[in-house]
Structures are given as structure tokens and as C-alpha cells.
A and B are shown apart, each in its own frame.
Chain A
Amino acid sequence: MKKPPNWLYNLFKRCTPKNRIDLLGDFEEWYHELVEEKGNVQANFIWIFQSLTLLKLKAITKLNSKSHFLMIGLPFKTAKRNFLKNKLYTIINLLGLSVGITVCTLIALFINHELSYDKHFGDHEQIYRVAGIYDQGGDTKTTSTLTPFLLQSAMQNNLDSQVMYTRLDFLQLHITVNDQTFWEDYSIAVDPNFFEVFQITFISGDASTALKNPYGIVLDRTTALKLFKHDQVMGETLKIEGRNHIITGIIEDLPDNTHFECHAFISIESIKDLYPYWMTNTYGGVSHRTYLKVPENYDVAQLEISVNELIAHYVDEEARPTYFFQHLKDIHLNSDLVAEIEVNGSYRILYIFLATAIVILLLASINFMNLSVAGAFRRLKETGVKKVMGASRSSQIWQFQLEALLMGLVASLITILLINLSLPSFNATTGKEIRLDLVDNLLIFGVCFILLLVISLITGRLSALFLLKVPVPNALFGIVSGDRRNTLNPRNILVGVQFFLAAILLSSTLVIFRQLYFMQNKDLGIDTEQLLVASFQSPEGFENYPILKEKILKNAFIESVSASTSRLAYRVGGWRQYKKPNTVENIHLPTVIVAHDYFETINVDFVLGRGFNDAFPSDYTDAYVINESAAKFLKLEHPIGAQLKGSAYTGQTWSVKDAKIIGVVEDFHFTSLHDKIQPAVFSLSSEITYPLQWMFIKINGNDLIQSLEAIEEIWSEIHTSTPFRYQFLDDAFEEHYLQEKQFLNVFSAFAFLSIFIGCLGLFGLTAFIMHRRTKEIGIRKVLGASRLVLLKVLSIDFLKLVFMACILGTPITLWLMAKWLENFEYRTSISWWIFGLTAMGALVSAGVSIFYHSMKVANTNPIESIKYE
């Protein structure tokens, strides 16, 4: 039988409705006959002609059977064509919106994470931390998270027995497993009831008995794996400071959103004998954190009163602290006391982020609306024609809403992608471990998605309403009424608002940056570079100090060695009572016990007098050095030679140290710039003073590694029990600015994004405006305008707007940042160049976004542009 060639089949298929194979059958049968009768050529012609006649049938079939589909399909098709036709505009619009929503989602995730702190503990509503207000010298009292060791037992023995009281002592454990040693920096010594207060999931072992007996240790899974390479380690033995401990429990790792980090738990009983005398026998010093868990609906205020009544039995009135309770949920976000366990978050930062998120959302939606509405005017003719053809108003509005909705959906897909891509670096900048858990964050994702849809729908509706307002005759000729050059038309105002917000963010970033820079670079009064701090670990360690010092100093690259009781960058000193001669008033002043060469090692200058010197043996008993603040605080006009009646404490026994002041040092920062410089007294280390804990080594020279190796060698030779651990002082100070650094990083990213979104918007918007001013430019060109003049004409409106936005943003930034800076004891000023720089930055970025289109229009041949439209 004769078959028609393939191309005839194809033609046939194009001309007939689908699913009518019977038709094709008819054709083939006929073709067969025709070939026999009239030959190939004619048969082919007939096939072609007859196929074409079927086109009408195809059209009718389609109209009848798929009429509904056609009505839905058409807007989709129009939308697709529109997106593809204005690719640049579509991309800008999508990008702006997705970036905006991404930032909002990230911030929401961040806030959610911050708010989730410690909520994973069972009964977290019933857990409190005891904080104390101590008179630590100076004018102000110190509010600290630390409490005396004895407080817990005092409370347990005397107060309500329904309440559980537990102590936490954060320490670093030196763990030996099979002759391998590890440092576990995040460990806690706790009371046996710890796991009843903080309910932590045990993988193996029993929470209530794990630490009942001394020399038990509970590890988290990760640490168990790290130490033993497997997690079936119940009952295994490891050595801590030379003592055997048995693993009595394995717990799940504590989640990131816990206000303390800890990998290993031991019993306080196991190390109690290592505690100094003052710690376990007096209320004079603070060392442990005390937590309590109350029954449900408990009157905590009453308990607070009882504690303070109780402490009155133990501590004299003048040194008596005041205790109060912090709810567990307040610790991470609402507590900024001395000796916080970790750098906490704060509601302030959450509010700032929240505000920023709203601002960026606003920017992104303004941008999206602005661009969409501007872009929609290109389609004036389309709406005009549709109106003439009788399209209903609602169908036109729907068309635009659908298109915006499609954009919104695509944007949400891009958003998901962007969140996935940016989360790791966001985590790195914020130092959090935020995971994309759909179930936990369902609300956030839901809200963001709905936001996207709402923004799209509003945008679509707005575009449609604007277009439909234009009368048909104007629409058909593409004339927008009332669209003269007017700086204050709504679209320009919206651009202005965008830049206004961006300017605030940008200048705020600059202020934050300046403050951070100020803090990191302010002269601390001491030289922290190449100055390393190492702990003696124990009083025995300090016994080796003289020989250590001697040996280390033999190296040429060591400039100086000294020691003290306080770790610089973290603590000023323990407080002691002083009396001026002929007065009865007790004055509390932080006191640092130092070794010889202390002031030389940290390189602080003397205002008056001298430092402690080997040449004067009397310095041990009859000399104090104070700082300038102390001189002021004590109201000493001639401090040198002035007598101070103080005390000394060995950790077990007190003695009187009545001595004269031999020198006054310049004020220097003991801790970070968050804290004010306190008045302080320095006293030379001797038999009657507390053993020194920290060694300071000033290295002089370029080869740090060699120096460190040399020190380490000497250390391990003499100090056999513990390895050499050190920290450079500048790093230690740096640690205090971590929160500000993270804040700056995140904030500057926001500021950058806001400018980016603003510029995207401006870029897209100028494209449309230029499009409309093509004719004007043509005429100007014909009349002889130079390119420069054209550029000016095209961009001046926008630049004016941006400039105005920056000016308006200035007072708001000033106000906001002044508030922010209030939180710093030492702060930079907000100078005018910040706003100058902001304005310049905004103008330049705006200029660049306008430039491209302006150049394009300015470069077109006037003939093209004049005949345009």
C-alpha cells in the first residue's frame, strides 16, 4: 500500500484537531486511492489542500472543547510574554523582592533562635539564677552572676526544701585518656542535683545518680567520640588532674541555644579539696554560680527576701551583698552583668534587627511596587485595546494580579534558594547555629510566603488600577495623562523613601564601625601587643614562678616577665577594705597583687613616684601603688607618701597592711572599653598576700614562634604537671568586642543590601523614565545639547531626591545612634563626615544606576528618538 511522505503527515497534524485519528484514517485511505488514480504528485496536492481545509475544524474544536482552558491560558501566556519581553526589568524586580524577603526571613530566623534560648530545658519556667550586687569598691556597685561557694548550702539548709539549689563552677579540664591529654575548655563542676534542675537527655546513664558520688564524669556524645573514638564508653576510666574518673553518663550535645556551653560535667565533690580556703570557708569571695528550681506557681519574691535575710547572718552589714533572682528565660536576652558565662544577646539588638528587617521589607516592597507600576505603563496600549475589545475591568485587574502573583511565586522560589545559600555565611557572621527546620519555623516561612503573596497582589492591583484610570483614547496612543516632569510624583517619593531608609542604615553602619574601630584602637594605657598571659593553674604552680622567670628572662627575645592575681582584659582585682588615716570610713577598692616588673611588663607610665623595686625590701610591707582614678577617688592631693590602712589575705588568714603610697600610675583599661576605668590599688606580692595566678610575658622580637617554643620548653621542664597554655593579651581584649563585631557585620550587610535594593529600583525606574523621555532627549540633541548637559538633565531630578533623602535621614540617624552609643562607657563622637560620606555614597550609587540608561538615551541618534512613539 502507498503511504504518504512524512512531511505530509506533519502538515496534516498541524491542521487537524488532536485525538481525531479517524480523520487521518480517512485521509490515508483516500490518499491510497488517489495515488492509484492520479499519481503521486496530484495526491500530494490534494492532501495538502484538504489538510488546510481542516484548519477551521481545528479552530472550532478548540474553541468548543477547551474554552475554559483558553481563558485561563491566555493570561498565563500574556504574563510569560511580558516577563520575557522585559527580561532586565523582570530580573531586577525578582531579585529585589527575593533579596528583601530573604533578609527578612533570615532576621526572623535569627530572632526566633534568640528567643528560643534555654527553652529546651524541661520546666524552664521554674529555673532561676541567683545574682548578687556587691560593693566592689569605686562609686558603683558591681552586679555579678557569681555567688560565694557557701551560698548554695546555706540556702539548702535554711530555706524552703521544696526548692532545688545547685552550683555551677565553669572550668577547663585537663583530661588524660590512654596517655593522651586533651583540654576540655567547656566543663562544669556541679552539685549532684544539677541534672534534676537542668533536664538534659541522657543517652546512657541515669540523670539522678550520675554524679551522686565523686569521681564520676558525664560527657556529651561529641566529646565521648573525641576522647574514645566511639560512644559506648559507659564505665570507662579517664584521668583528670591525675585522678581517675569513671564515666557515669552520656548526654546529647547541649543545643547551641543554651546560655552556657558545656561538654563535660564532674562533681564539685571531686575537686573541692583543690579549692582555696577562702572559697570553701568564707563569704568573702565569689566563685560559683547558683541556680535554683522552684515548684510550679511558687512565690519567688518571698524566697528572694528570705535569701537576703539569710545572708545577714553570715556577712557583716558593710560588705553584705544583695541577692536577686534572674529568670532563666531572661538570662540570654536580658542580662548584662559582670561575669556572664557567654556573650549574651540583648533585646536591644533584636529590636534593632527587627526594625531593620521591617525597613528592608519596606524597601523591597516599595521597590517591587514602584517598578511594577512603572513597568505596567508600557502596557497601556494592551489595556487600551483590551478595553476596546470589551474585556471586563475585573479580568484586566486579574491579569495584572496574576502576573504579580507569578512573580511572587518565582520570587519565593528564589528566596528559598537564597536562604539556603546564605545561611552558612549568616551563621558564620552571627556565630549562631541556625538550622532550616521547616517544622520549627513553619510560622516564619508561612508569614514570609503570605507576605510575598500579599505584596504581589497589592502590586498587581495597583498597576491595574493606575492603567485602567487612563481613558481609552489616551491609552491607545500610549499617552499617560498627568505624567509631566514632576519631582514630587508618587513614584519619585517612593524612591526618595527608599534612599532615606538606606541612608539611615548606611550612616548608622558607619557610626557602628567607627565605634568598633575606636574601641579596638583606643590607647588602653598599656601595651597589649606581644604580651602573653599564662595561668599558673594552681598555687603550687606559682611556687615555681621565681625560677621560671629567671630561666625565661635568659632568652634575649624576652623583654620582661611579671605576674599578678588578676587576668588583664577580664578582671580588675579582688576588693579589699582601706582606711585613710584619721578616718573611720571603710573604703572598698579593687586590689591587684602584682610581682616585680609588673608595670614595666604591661608598659604603663607613672604620673608620680615609682613602681615596686627590688632595691627597696620595704616595698613588700610598706608600699602601695594606685592609679589616677584611685587618687581622685580617695581625694588625695599629694598622693606620694600618703598613708593607707589596708589588709592582705593569703587565702586563709587576714593581716593588716598599713603602708604608704609610693607611686601613681596613669589610668589604663583593665577590661574592655565597655567598662569604666575603676580606681585600683596595686600591692606587691609577698607571704601575706594571695598567691599569684597569672604570668605575663612580654616578647620582644619578630620570631614569635621561636619565642613561644622556647617558653614552652622551659615551662614543661619546670611546670611538669600541666602543659603551657597562653593567650595574647590583644586577642583577649579583642574577644570582648565579638558581639559588636558580629553586630557590625550583620548590620553592614543590611545597609549594603538596602542600598543595593534602592539602586536596583532606581536602575529599573530610570529605564522606564528614559524610555518616556526619548523624544525630549532627541529634540534637545537636535537643538544642540551636549552629552554632559543631557546627563545632567536626565539625572538631576533623581540626584536631588537622593540628596534630600540623605539630609532628612541625618537627624534620625543622629538620634538613633546617640541612643546606641549611650551603652558604651567610652564612645566615639558622631562627626559630620559620616553624613557627608553617606550622602556621597548614596549619590554615587544612585548616579551609577542612572548613568547607564542616561548614557544609552543620550547616545541614541536623534532621528530615532524623535520619530519614536
Chain B
Amino acid sequence: MGQRKYIGELEEVIMLTIGILEDGAYGLAIKKEIDKQLSRKVSMGAMHTGLYRLEKKGYLTSRLGEATSIRGGKPKRYFTVTMHGQQVLKETMDDRKKLWQSIPEGVFQVDIAS
């Protein structure tokens, strides 16, 4: 298609979090991880909408996993980032890097190096 795919900020966060969680990336775990890593409360709705859209775009895949009694016997849905999703993540990162590098010296007072 050749066209660049853009992803939203929350979507980027979700995909990265799934990466962090390795094999344990299911809905609640992802939400908690975001909470833990970024101290950021994501609503179930926002997160699952994001997951749904990403999966629809082909950046994620999911499979139903084990059911525990604590979940009332309902299975977990585990997410993994597809190759395609990883490429998009990398592209996004590269874009940012490029932009940062293009900012002239002295414009931003913040110390970038740290």
C-alpha cells in the first residue's frame, strides 16, 4: 500500500505495554501495567477500544487463554504484537527521533540527553 500508517498515542502505549508483558498480556494486566509504568489511569473502555482497533488493523493478534475461578470461569484474551505492529511502532519511534534531531540547538531548554 505504501502509505504510512499512523497510530494514536494510547495505541502506541498499549502496544508497547503488551511487549513489556510478554506472554501475559491480557486486558486487565495491560491496564494495570500502564497504570504501574506511567501512573496513568486508562478506562477499560478506552483500552479495549484501542485493542479492538489495533487488532482490526492487524497490529495485534489475540487468542483466548485459560479460565480461572477468580474470573468467574471466563477465559483471558491474550494479545501479542504482530510483525506488522512492531514495524509500525518502530516507524513511529524513528519519526519522533528524526523530529527531535531536527530541532535546532538551544530551542528547547530541556536536557535531552538524560
Contact = CB atoms under 8 A, between A and B. Distances in A.
Interface residues of B, number: 25
B43 A25 contact: no
A1 B70 contact: yes
Contact of A26 (B28, B56, B69, B73): B28
Interface string B48-67: 11001100100000001001
Interface in A1-52: 1, 3, 21-30, 32, 49-52
A61 interface: yes
A133 interface: no
Contact of A28 (B43, B52, B64, B72): B72
A60 B77 CA distance: 19
Interface in A221-249: none
A51 B45 CA distance: 7
A55 B27 contact: no
A54 to B, nearest CB: 4
Given A25-B74, A28-B72, A61 B52 contact: yes
Contacts of A49: 43
Contacts of B44: 23, 26-27, 50-51, 53-54
Nearest to A22: B77
Interface in B7-65: 26-28, 31, 43-46, 48-49, 52-53, 56, 64
Given A28-B71, A32-B70, A61-B52, A22 B27 contact: yes
A141 interface: no
Nearest to A16: B48
A55 B26 contact: no
Contacts of B69: 1
A868 to B, nearest CB: 44
Contacts of A30: 28, 31
A64 interface: yes
11 contacts: A1-B69, A23-B27, A23-B44, A29-B68, A50-B43, A50-B45, A53-B45, A54-B44, A54-B45, A54-B48, A57-B45
B76 A22 contact: yes
Given A25-B71, A28-B71, A28-B74, A57 B26 contact: no
A28 B77 CA distance: 14
Nearest to A15: B45
Nearest to B50: A57
A272 interface: no
A60 B50 CA distance: 11
B56 to A, nearest CB: 7
Interface in A359-381: none
A26 B26 contact: yes
Contacts of B43: 49-50, 53
Contacts of B73: 25
Given A50-B44, A54-B45, A55-B45, A24 B52 contact: no
A551 interface: no
A22 B26 CA distance: 9
Nearest to B62: A22
Given A23-B27, A53-B45, A54-B44, A60 B74 contact: no
Given A25-B76, A28-B70, A60 B28 contact: no
A25 B49 contact: no
B53 A24 contact: no
Given A22-B75, A29-B28, A60 B70 contact: no
Contacts of B64: 22
A56 interface: yes
Given A25-B76, A50-B43, A57 B70 contact: no
A484 B44 CA distance: 59
Given A26-B76, A50-B44, 9 more contacts: A23-B48, A23-B77, A25-B67, A25-B76, A28-B70, A30-B31, A54-B44, A60-B52, A64-B56
6 nearest interchain CB pairs? A53-B45, A25-B74, A22-B77, A25-B71, A53-B43, A26-B27
A56 B28 contact: no
Most buried by A among B45, B69, B70, B75: B45
